């Protein structure tokens, strides 16, 4: 079994996918502090993403990297700068120095969050970040391209919608990604031959999608879950619809208006 480094291993998305990833890979977990719920067969190498030397030790000897670490919502600039700008640079550079070619980068829908909901966008649109956080994810995608073209890295950037067991509200009916569909995309990023830098949307088979995910399909993705199966229940119980058109008209939702807030 290949040894894979999972950064941000204590975060919500990583915790949802670790049991599924363990079926295929040996996992080395990394987060800023030791990961509390680690199993006996998971290694733990804590590292601050801004600490290059610590990160390089975490990268040493792995077969691939799944980079989920960093700040995962809009936040104060010093936090985004350290974790997402410096931290993402550090992970690509540590991988290059340690000879690790395969990386999966957890990008976000917020790299393109200022596209309107009445548009369907593919992966070749110009980024339109909705936040400093979204801009940091566009930066990470740029690094993926740089390290692929210049140093021969093989990188899959997944513009993740919202990873959860079920869609949380009306907006998430368009962007929901089930944990097992995310693991399928990660598997493509780690295994599919012939990848240089590819961008895909991290969503399940969602009828209300704003994204054309044909690049993911081309790479072999066959999503197994559908947001629509939850639609009537979600819309009845927690529509989450506001009266602010800046939020409702744009794909990024409340990230288009928030300054330093968290989840919408
Ligand atoms: C993200 O990028 C966040 O990491 C996640 O917490 C959600 O807020 C998600 O986007 C979303 O757009 O719902």
pLDDT tens-digit map of 179-205:
999 999 999 999 999 999 999 999 999
166, 172, 164, 158: which is closest to 201 by C-alpha? Answer: 158
Q: How many CA atoms lie within 13 A of 17 on its CB side?
A: 30
Name residue 201's beta-bridge partners. Answer: 159
**pLDDT band at residue 72 under the 50/70/90 scheme:** very high
40, 41, 178, 198 from 28: Cα distances, Å: 11, 9, 23, 24
- Residue of 115, 133, 201, 221 marked active site: 133
Reply yes or no on whether the pLDDT at 95 is more than 60.
yes
| Domain 3-256: which CATH number of 3.65.10.10, 3.40.50.1100, 3.40.50.720, 3.40.250.10 | 3.40.50.720
- Choose the residue to mutate in 80, 201, 263 for probing ligand 1, maximizing ligand atoms within 8 Å of C-beta: 263
**pLDDT band at residue 264 under the 50/70/90 scheme:** very low
Query: How many CB atoms within 10 Å of residue 227?
Result: 25
pLDDT tens-digit map of 221-241:
999 999 999 999 999 998 989
Q: What is the pLDDT of residue 262?
A: 53
Mean pLDDT (whole number) for 202-231: 98
Ligand 1 binding pocket includes 258 (Cβ within 6 Å) = no
- Choose the residue to mutate in 11, 17, 73, 157 for probing ligand 1, maximizing ligand atoms within 8 Å of C-beta: 73
Mean pLDDT (whole number) for 248-252: 98
Residue 106 near residue 13 (C-beta atoms within 8 A): yes
Reply yes or no on whether the pLDDT at 260 is more than 90.
no
Ligand 1 binding pocket includes 72 (Cβ within 6 Å) = yes
Query: How many CB atoms within 10 Å of residue 16?
Result: 17
DSSP for 47-92, written as a single string: --TT-HHHHHHHHTT-SEEEE--S--S---HHHHIIIIIIHHHHHH
pLDDT tens-digit map of 124-176:
999 999 999 999 999 999 999 999 999 999 999 999 999 999 999 999 999 99
Q: What is the pLDDT of residue 222?
A: 98
Assign 34 to helix, strand or coil.
coil
Note if 133 is an active site residue: yes
Domain boundaries, the chain: 3-256
Ligand 1 binding pocket includes 107 (Cβ within 6 Å) = no
DSSP secondary-structure letter at 255? Answer: G
Mean pLDDT (whole number) for 16-22: 98
Mean pLDDT (whole number) for 101-109: 98
Report ipTM for this prediction: 0.98
Ligand 1 binding pocket includes 263 (Cβ within 6 Å) = yes
Token pair, residue 260, equals 């330093």
């Amino acid at each position: 079994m290949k040894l894979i480094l999972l950064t941000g291993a204590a975060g919500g998305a990583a915790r949802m996918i670790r049991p599924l990833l363990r079926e295929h890979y040996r996992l080395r977990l990394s987060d800023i502090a030791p990961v509390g719920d680690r199993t006996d067969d998971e290694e733990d190498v804590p590292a601050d993403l801004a600490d290059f030397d610590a990160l390089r030790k975490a990268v040493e000897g792995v077969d691939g990297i799944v980079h989920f670490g960093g700040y995962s919502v809009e936040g104060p600039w010093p936090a985004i700068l350290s974790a997402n700008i410096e931290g993402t640079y550090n992970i690509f550079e540590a991988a290059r120095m340690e000879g690790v070619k395969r990386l999966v980068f957890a990008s976000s829908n917020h790299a393109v969050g200022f596209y309107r909901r009445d548009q369907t966008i593919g992966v070749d649109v110009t980024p339109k970040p909705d936040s400093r956080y979204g801009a940091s994810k566009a930066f990470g995608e740029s690094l993926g391209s740089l390290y692929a073209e210049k140093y021969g890295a093989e990188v899959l950037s997944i513009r993740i919608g919202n990873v959860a067991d079920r869609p949380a509200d009306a907006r998430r009916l368009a962007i929901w990604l089930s944990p097992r569909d995310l693991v399928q995309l990660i598997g493509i990023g780690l295994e599919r031959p012939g990848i240089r830098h590819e961008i895909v949307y991290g969503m399940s088979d969602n009828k209300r999608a704003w994204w054309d995910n044909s690049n993911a399909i081309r790479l072999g993705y066959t999503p197994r879950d559908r947001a629509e199966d939850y639609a009537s229940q979600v819309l009845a119980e927690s529509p989450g619809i506001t009266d602010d058109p800046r939020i409702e008209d744009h794909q990024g939702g409340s990230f288009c208006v928030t300054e330093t807030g968290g989840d919408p």
